[in-house]
Structure 1
Amino acid sequence: MWILAKRLWSVFTEDMEHCYFTGTPNCHRHHIFYGSRRQLSERYGFVIPVAAHLHEFAPGSIHDNPNKGLDLKLKQMAQAYFEEHYGTREEFRCIFGKSWL
């Protein structure tokens, strides 16, 4: 029996095979809102391909520096997209827990 991998998509790019920032191939798919909000990231397209070193392997990477630097930038990008395409800031807060803008 084959189990198919989930098809992740992004509101920020159609190319999920190359890092959004560097163009590096074979990158990680980062859920902008992770942990308990991972499924919400998938539902709204807040997943983005990033090079491994930007994701979790280098000092200052997304998971090394939560809610700051690149992680904060991505959350702000996602919230701005939400407010332009899906709903209000209050609706965003209700869904994602807080405002990043």
Structure 2
Amino acid sequence: MSKKLWSVFTDDMDHCYFTGSPYVERHHIFESRQGFKAKSERRGFVIPLRYDLHPNGTRFVRTPENLQIDDKLKCMAQKYYEEHYGSRQEFMAEFGCNYL
């Protein structure tokens, strides 16, 4: 049985957050370092992206606009964290750096 992933940014995990496309992959906003993927899941920092927009996907299309998606999502997540979970220092302790 697969995990039930959720997002603080959308209730619709079956359509791309940016385009509305039903052809999605679930993107963990923070996952590059050890433990960040699980922390993303715990905090709701997962978002559905069309396969060609998914920065970690095998079918990612490298355009200037698409390359900015990951940074935009990290900024959104940090802002959400600071508004709902804790301070900037707590965010940096949990996710390793400041994206704002």
TM over 0.5: yes
Shift of 1:34: 1.1
2-side partners of 1:6 and 1:84: how far apart? 26
Over the matched positions of the two proteins, sequence identity in percent amounts to: 55
1:27-49 CA-to-partner distances (Å, cap 9, x unmatched) read 00000001321001000000000
Structure 1 unmatched ranges of 5 or more: none
Whole-angstrom distance in 2 between the partners of 1:96 and 1:9: 19
1:46-99 alpha-carbon deviations (Å, 9 max, x no partner): 0000000101320138xx84xxx1100000000000000000000000000001
Give 2:5's aligned residue. Answer: 8
Query: What are the residue-to-residue correspondences of 1:13-32 with 2, within 5 Å?
Result: 13-32=10-29
Tell me how large the CA RMSD over aligned residues is: 1.7
TM-score with structure 2 setting the length: 0.88
Aligned residues: 94
Equivalent position amino acid for 2:90 in 1: E
Structure 2: gaps of 5 or more residues: none
Moved beyond 3 Å, runs of 4+: none
